[in-house]
Copies of this chain bind each other. A is one copy, B any other.
Amino acid sequence: MKITEIGEFGFIDAIKDDTLFAPESVVIGIGDDGAVYKTTDGMEQVAVIDTMVENSHFIIGTTASWYDVGYKAVASNLSDIAAMGAVPTHLVLSTAISPQMEVEDLISLYRGIKDICRTYQVNILGGDTVMSKEGLVITVAAFGEIEKTKAICRSGAKVGDIVAVSHCLGDSGAGLDVLLTRHAGYERLKRTHQFPVPQISLGRLLVEYHAHSLNDISDGLASEANEIAKASKVRLLLQKDRIPCSEELRAWSAETGKDIWTYVFNGGEDYELIFTIGTADFARLQRVYPEITMIGAVIAGEPGVYVQDGALQYQVLPSGWNHFSEEKR
């Protein structure tokens, strides 16, 4: 059945249940002009927004199912909230859809949205659905809370800090290539691309352990590290051989000849965290959260990002590590 056959109200009826997963803070949910919710005394609010466009961010049937699109549209927002050190609480969303879209596909999209919201106890407060002649455009605006003055910005990196990242980098970009080439296997890479994990619990620990700066890695390590360097007016020196990569990424690169470092530095959508933190705090944090790796240090100098690769040192520009200007160590 097509969307036009059930109409907007039929559609709202089909998706309005099962939207509040932490209802105690919601005064008015879906169904009025606006939703009303309560905030917690002593907390500041965090707001983020992110859009995904069909055939630009995803290709249905190739890189994602409708379920995956809903899941990931929320995940990317929760990742931005994690990257401030905050806890996500609510979201509103808007979809521009073709009138010819199948109702069951839209239901599937919402199932993906609801499943990740249930996991992280995020309330769906409402939305807007409009018709578009073209493919689907989905925008999610998410809110979260953080203790007053505790949000971790990009601008706080200090000379002497350790630079660290969570888990492995590059899997999502490689997963996209696996999907686009319809290659068999490499389940971990595909899964990382389709179901990124917002690093909320690590973000909270980074607040507790006094991290100085923090970004989520949505556009590749090169871009995110440069954002921290620029905002903090410091230089980041990364050790190439310390950057954590998965066995599957190495296997994929070996099989296809694709450059592993292009995935790591330029591949998007890993949604891991990059942060800078004092040496003692890093050691304490690693005892409670071992899946973090020191990849470099914050040093003095003109702001920028450099990578140490054996005896060579390159500058890494935001657009990618291969646009480097070579320098002798």
Interface, chain A (partner B; CB < 8 A) = 9, 27-28, 31-39, 41, 44-53, 55-57, 80-81, 83-84, 86, 90, 92-94, 96, 125-128, 130-135, 137, 139, 141, 143-144, 146, 148-149, 151, 153-155, 214-216, 231, 318
Contacts and interface: CB of A to CB of B under 8 A. Distances in A.
Contacts of A36: 44-46, 84, 86, 146, 151
Contacts of A57: 130
A35 B47 contact: yes
Contacts of A92: 47-49, 141
A125 B48 CA distance: 9
B128 A51 contact: yes
26 contacts: A9-B318, A27-B151, A31-B231, A32-B84, A33-B81, A34-B83, A34-B84, A36-B44, A36-B84, A38-B45, A45-B45, A47-B90, A47-B125, A47-B126, A47-B143, A49-B94, A49-B127, A50-B94, A51-B137, A53-B96, A53-B131, A56-B130, A92-B141, A132-B134, A133-B134, A134-B134
Given A96-B137, A130-B57, A151-B28, A81 B45 contact: no
B133 A49 contact: no
Chain A, interface SS category: strand
Contacts of A214: 33
The 5 A-B residue pairs with the shortest CB-CB distance in the complex, in nearest-first order: A141-B141, A33-B83, A139-B139, A34-B48, A49-B92
A220 B137 CA distance: 26
A35 B45 CA distance: 8
B93 A49 contact: yes
Nearest to A319: B7
Contacts of A146: 36
Contacts of A143: 47, 143
